[in-house]
Chain A
Amino acid sequence: KQEVTQIPAALSVPEGENLVLNCSFTDSAIYNLQWFRQDPGKGLTSLLLIQSSQREQTSGRLNASLDKSSGRSTLYIAASQPGDSATYLCAVRPAGGYSTLTFGKGTMLLVSP
């Protein structure tokens, strides 16, 4: 059974810092990996999706990497801003079948001015 772990569970940084969120998964037979953002009391917003054949994806100040063989992904946030404060979730989709994503518990990020 796939398990997804996110470290750290919570992170507090001052504005302007570069930071890295970690995600690990136990079964490397994945189709893709997706990073989401969730604001308090809200639904999930997709940030980046990395196919199993890709190594990284970039969107603005966000960069996500994938090392499928070692079961790891990182989300790099450059020059963090208070508006980046949210919970970041990592989810993997298994190879084959439907989008039955397995989620981690998330990393709660607080960026202080």
Chain B
Amino acid sequence: ETGVTQTPRHLVMGMTNKKSLKCEQHLGHNAMYWYKQSAKKPLELMFVYSLEERVENNSVPSRFSPECPNSSHLFLHLHTLQPEDSALYLCASSQVGGSGNTIYFGEGSWLTVV
């Protein structure tokens, strides 16, 4: 248990569906992240939110839409995805501004687009 909880753990969706991934952190951190992990590729940062404000967006397609309503919750809204978007989506959190800045990851949400 890392203190970062992701739901659902597994999701299968069609290309025309709309779904959302949810992440919740219980660590009191002030920054949250979405990463994408595809087979045989390094983890890719998608979005960073710090103090509920999006501070980085690594040119992610608009079919991925993040939402951070407060410092403990982060969503990734999905619509009209492509099969190549099938991957493990990892949420993480950290405390920005302190020493160390260890980042904690959730268990991930396995997404399959059919």
Give 19 A-B pairs besides A46-B105, A98-B48 with Cβ atoms closer than 8 angstroms: A32-B101, A36-B105, A42-B107, A43-B6, A43-B107, A44-B90, A45-B105, A46-B102, A91-B43, A98-B50, A98-B56, A99-B96, A99-B101, A99-B103, A100-B48, A100-B56, A101-B43, A105-B42, A106-B42
Q: How far is the CB of A95 from chain B (nearest CB, A)?
A: 12
Q: Which residue of A lies closest to B104 (CB)?
A: A46
What per-residue 1/0 map shows which CB atoms of B43-70 lie under 8 Å from chain A? Answer: 1010010100001100000000000000
Asked whether A100 lies within 8 Å of B102 as measured between CB atoms, the reply is no
* Residue among B41, B55, B56, B99 making CB contact with A105, cutoff 8 Å: B41
Interface residues of A, dominant DSSP: strand
User: What is the minimal beta-carbon distance from B86 to any residue of chain A, in angstroms?
Assistant: 14
In the complex, are the beta carbons of B106 and A43 less than 8 A apart?
yes
If A4-B42, A98-B56, A100-B45 touch, whether A32 touches B100 (CB-CB below 8 Å) is yes
- On chain A, the residues within 8 Å of B106 by CB distance are 43
> With an 8 A cutoff between CB atoms, is B17 at the interface?
no
Give every chain B residue within 8 A of A32 (Cβ-Cβ).
100-101
Residues facing A in B60-114 (CB within 8 A) are: 88, 90, 92, 94, 96, 99-108, 110
Q: Tell me the smallest distance from the CB of B29 to a CB of chain A, in Å.
A: 10
Expressed in whole angstroms, the Cα–Cα distance for A99 and B31 within the complex equals 9
Number of B interface residues at 8 Å Cβ cutoff, please give it: 30
The residues of B with any CB-CB pair to A shorter than 8 Å are: 2, 4, 6, 31, 33, 40-43, 45, 48, 50, 55-56, 88, 90, 92, 94, 96, 99-108, 110
Q: Does A103 have its Cβ within 8 Å of any Cβ on chain B?
A: yes
Query: Does A31 touch B at the CB level, under 8 Å?
Result: yes
Instruction: Return 8 A-B CB contacts under 8 Å, by A number.
Output: A32-B101, A36-B105, A43-B6, A51-B99, A91-B43, A99-B96, A100-B56, A103-B42
Do residues A99 and B33 form an inter-chain contact, with CB atoms below 8 A? Answer: yes
Closest Cβ of chain B to A74, distance in Å, is 19
Decide if A89 is an interface residue (CB 8 Å cutoff): yes
